[in-house]
Structure 1
């Protein structure tokens, strides 16, 4: 089974608890379960992880270089600040999908620039948890379309 890493950055574990509703009402645990179930239907083995620590995310991206055919990342607040995450993603040879629950271009101006986008094959944003499923669909197709090695 093809392995895909789905990495989530700071505060993603609080989805569903945000009073503003920016990230929807669905809990992180529920989103994780939806993604794991959907990935299985796509014949993907999902490594779905979350950390509030930049270095941990960099470590996981580096780990994915050896283990994963594709990578999806919602770097959350680190999207706008982390050159370290960008550098790690640039060293990953498979497809990378950048995912965001909210539409980052409809939010504060500082969110309009993403370091992650420089390394991403594509971006899914503004569709809540549905966007996570669409990111899985995209990564499955991108992996399937890669030339055999």
Structure 2
């Protein structure tokens, strides 16, 4: 089920696939989904919930997997990948693609007022607390504390740069 708020702006060049597993894809008020953003329900039955005043820039790919929850006033730069899912691979007698998926690590949670730089990858279990700044090219797989700047490792509290 896809629910786009009437005030949200969705590029005609974005590609949002509807789920066959019942996942909800929700885009909140005044949010912008840019050209060449791909939303693919794959790897689980989690929902994608995009809050209000969120901008997802060109070239981003979001797999719904175990769920993605994006708060309000979040800025996501170009070419980011959100992958809240993990393939099973332990059985060497079977192809990886036949082994299904591992249990969820909690999906991806992004709180309000977060900025994610270009070319970032967020993995299952990533939690970005309020006010985080994630530097371009970072890989996030755990929790980032509120108001921290992250570029592979925490650099400073956001309050120190303001």
Return the TM-score normalized by structure 2: 0.24
| CA radius of gyration, larger in | 2
Query: Greater helix share, 1 or 2?
Result: 1
TM norm structure 1: 0.26
Pick 1 or 2: higher relative contact order, CA cutoff 8 A, min separation 6: 1
More strand by share: 2
